[in-house]
Amino acid sequence: MTTDLSKLTAAAAKWDETANDLRDKTEPPYRDDVHGVSLGGPAWNGLSATAANARFDVTLKEIQAAQKQARAVASLLRDAHAQFVTLKKGVEQARDDAVKAGMKVSDQGVCHYDFSKVEAGDAAAIRRDPDLPGVERSWTERIRTAVKAVDDADEGVRIALTEVVKDSDPLGGMPGGFNSGAKGDVESYEADLAEDIAGRLADGKKVSDEEMAQLERALRDNRDDKAFSQELLRDLGPNAVIKLGNELNERSQDVEGEKKLQLAEVTKNFANSMATATAVPGSVKDLPPGSPAFTAWMNSKEGAFYREWTTAMQKEGTKNFGPNTNPLYGYQSYVSLMQHADKDFDDQFLYDLGVQTIKAEKEQPGIFTMWGPGHKGMETDAVDGVLGLMSRNPDAATAFFDPEGNGSGKDHVGNDHLKYLLGSGDDAREWPKNTITGMVVKDFDDPTSRMGLGKALEAAATGNEPLREGQRGDASAPHTAAQARVMQGAINVLDDGAGGEEIHSNLRKPLGHAIADYAADNHNILAENGTKYGSPQGKDTIWTSGDDAGITVGKDSLTRVMRGVSADDQTYALLQDTQRQYALDQLSRAPESGGSSNDAWKNPARDLGAVTGAMNSIGSDVILDERDGKISAANDMAKYAYHGVGAPITGLPVLGDTAQRLVDAATYEWSKDVADAASSQAQEKNSDHYASGINGTYDMIDRWAVERGVDIDDESNAKNDPNWVAWQAMRDEAKQSYGTSRGDSAVYLGWE
């Protein structure tokens, strides 16, 4: 931190001065007065002149090589200076940020809270905070990482300065002389070193611990350097990259501890280099693969690497790198290696790779079948693996599934990926099976099938990465038109032929998260509100308003698809809680008074009743169809509900404060309503039948009315409160809409 880095540029200037002296003061007189004499002429002819000329040629080449080497050293030193200045600032910034956060930073970069800057009472509270050690460690780690980056760069410069003085062409002068092939880029020498070690690894050859450490450092240091990454991949080639991924995976299965962690780091940062090397300018939305503009870019100098790499990978991707009895195709290894990256791959590259893997399986059916146990650590279904990678880059996923396609004018490229991957029947994908051979060949469903698809659809429809277990959803945010088209298209494809109730188990959770993200649209469709949605029939196109957009699917399709994903207990709880909370949020926006006709309060109560009626029918259908009529199974769903665990379930959106307060105060469990609705299904169809399960709806309306100052215990309205009358009207309206909506849902779900 105290080194005067300007010494590097001063030294670089001296090296340039040396090169200039060789060029201006050494080469001309030698070339003219020594070497020139041996070229033949009146001054010197014969065997001795010829012999001398050969030696003088060597010396002249060495003088010229010395210039090249000197300028390369100068360039390396300037490269080092630029890197060190930037990285030093990174260390300083990490330290300064730690201090601003209240840390005291030691000379070794260790952080501890600086209690001298807080009051005694606050200091005591902070010391008792169980999270304090973790916070201190996180700041120490941030500084350590910044220092490590300097160390990595320093090692890279050392490698470059060591290699630049080595004679790269012994025939271009004197063996062991100056380096006529000297390069002035630090990363280029690091790429050479990494390529040499990685190439031997790919061939299964022995690599020392020191060399593995060098490879690990070079990849970590240059994970974001495009020139390094492209040179490394170009030198290795797709065949070696596939073999390298296989070898790294195989070796990691046989070791533990530090060696396993090191292999994981090497694998991760090699995958990161792949992401860096394959980045494309622009976005898939405007410049989709397959368009004339994208093709023109690939044929340009800038796109040469991408064109060469992807073209070669198409050939290697369909080759078998494993035994014939348990094949391992190139695309499987390639996608598996990519999955180790912790940075996003480019959206155009992912789109292109998705198209290529689909094309490969169409041309070579069964290429992604899992044979027996498959290969541990490898993604068998490369198509599903690419979709999983897309989920980390939501824009890529949205573009891949957008039924409208991408690009405009002559650069428009359409796709049917949604129908092909999510649909069934003709023109839809036949998802790979797990085939077991022996006395009899048997096919089983792959337990990981469609996992990537589910994640990609969630990302595509919401614009966010898939939710992690226990992660709460975001506050309601606008959806783009493309995202809404994906959501609308997914529901329509799933419910083609009224088949929305049958949804693959690995799709239920992610699709449930996506549907919950459209809480407002679901509410209005189920409540049949307004011409905007065209409910109950729905519309062929989404609605748009400025930068916002949403779905307009038919009420029947939405109900059936909600039912399909609700076969997963947690997903049903998510949808139930989301719709109840959204309805309460809308109710909280009603005026303080019910108004002369009570419509100001009746209308949101009508919507609440319609939504809860639909949701209770869905829940009761799950119990009856999936649980063999065991009403007690409602508890399986309820354990995930808001009040079942005392905290929001995965994906529950953030809604208004009033709605949240009402939910917190609610005492009636919706699982009881679901059980009542299920019990009534077998009863005679009368006017009371579809009112079963409405108690929870009444409870929510009552809680809301109390917040508005209505005395719900005043059974005769002795105070003549007009809002008491409005409250009663709300209950009546909710009961009517609840029963109607439950009846509609019963028809949609095949009860009648």
Residue 626 has a pLDDT of 57
pLDDT of 360 strictly over 50: yes
Alpha helices in 165-225 (DSSP H): 186-202, 209-221
What average pLDDT score do residues 567-575 get?
Answer: 89
pLDDT digits (tens, 9 = 90+) for 614-626: 998 898 888 877 5
Tell how strand 111-113 and strand 103-105 pair up: antiparallel
Q: Name which of 39-53, 208-222, 503-517 the model is least confident about.
A: 39-53
Q: Give 142's pLDDT tier (boundaries 50, 70, 90).
A: very high
Smallest Cα–Cα separation from 266: which of 228, 225, 212, 229?
A: 212
What average pLDDT score do residues 337-350 get?
Answer: 97
For 543, the 3-state DSSP assignment is strand
Q: Give the highest mean pLDDT range of 103-107, 444-448, 528-532, 701-705.
A: 103-107
To 5 degrees, how large is the angle CA 348–CA 551–CA 398? 10
Residue 642 has a pLDDT of 62
- Amino acid letter, residue 70: A
Residue by residue, DSSP assigns 369-416 as: PEETT--TT--S-HHHHHHHHHHTSHHHHHHHH-TT-B--GGG-B---
Tell me which H or E stretch contains 602: helix 599-626
pLDDT digits (tens, 9 = 90+) for 228-277: 999 999 999 999 999 999 999 999 998 999 999 999 999 999 999 999 99
Residue by residue, DSSP assigns 421-447 as: HH--STTS----EEEE-SSS-EEEE-T
Quick count: other Cβ atoms within 10 Å of Cβ 31? 15
pLDDT digits (tens, 9 = 90+) for 476-486: 779 999 999 99
* Sign of the alpha-carbon torsion through 585, 590, 591, 592: negative
Spatial neighbors of 322 by CB under 8 A, at least 6 apart, are 328, 375
What average pLDDT score do residues 316-328 get?
Answer: 94
Residue 168 has a pLDDT of 87
Alpha helices in 254-373 (DSSP H): 257-277, 292-298, 304-316, 330-338, 347-363
- Please tell me the distance from the alpha carbon of residue 156 to that of residue 657, in angstroms, as a whole number: 55
Residue 132, φ and ψ in degrees, nearest 5: -60, -50
- Please tell me the distance from the alpha carbon of residue 416 to that of residue 3, in angstroms, as a whole number: 60
Q: Name which of 161-170, 524-533, 671-680 the model is least confident about.
A: 671-680
Q: What is the pTM of this model?
A: 0.86
Residues 310, 277 contacting (CB under 8 angstroms):
no
Report the percent of the chain where pLDDT is more than 70: 94
pLDDT digits (tens, 9 = 90+) for 451-509: 999 999 999 999 999 998 878 777 777 999 999 999 999 999 999 999 999 999 999 99
pLDDT of 654 strictly over 80: no
What average pLDDT score do residues 605-619 get?
Answer: 92
pLDDT of 645 strictly over 50: no
- Please tell me the distance from the alpha carbon of residue 238 to that of residue 209, in angstroms, as a whole number: 25
Residue 472 has a pLDDT of 78
Q: How far is residue 6 from each of residues 11, 72, 79, 119, 218, measured CA to CA in Å? A: 9, 18, 12, 44, 25
Per the DSSP assignment, residues forming a β-bridge with 443 are 435
Tell me which H or E stretch contains 342: none
Q: Give the highest mean pLDDT range of 95-104, 576-585, 662-671.
A: 95-104
Smallest Cα–Cα separation from 359: which of 412, 405, 415, 283?
A: 415
- Amino acid letter, residue 186: V
Spatial neighbors of 610 by CB under 8 A, at least 6 apart, are 526, 527, 528, 737, 738, 740, 741
pLDDT of 576 strictly over 80: yes
- Please tell me the distance from the alpha carbon of residue 356 to that of residue 379, in angstroms, as a whole number: 16
Q: Give 644's pLDDT tier (boundaries 50, 70, 90).
A: very low
Per residue, the 3-state secondary structure of 76-139, as one string, reads HHHHHHHHHHHHHHHHHHHHHHHHHCCEEECCCCCEEECHHHCCHHHHHHHHHCCCHHHHHHHH
Provide the b/e sequence for 75-89 (b: ≥16 CB within 10 Å): bbbbbbbebbeebbe
**Mean pLDDT over the full length of the chain:** 90
What average pLDDT score do residues 1-25 get?
Answer: 95
pLDDT digits (tens, 9 = 90+) for 275-287: 999 999 999 999 9
- Amino acid letter, residue 373: P
- Please tell me the distance from the alpha carbon of residue 113 to that of residue 120, in angstroms, as a whole number: 13
- Please tell me the distance from the alpha carbon of residue 400 to that of residue 462, in angstroms, as a whole number: 14
Q: Name which of 113-117, 392-396, 680-684 the model is least confident about.
A: 680-684
The first and second tokens of residue 646, run together, are 């005392």
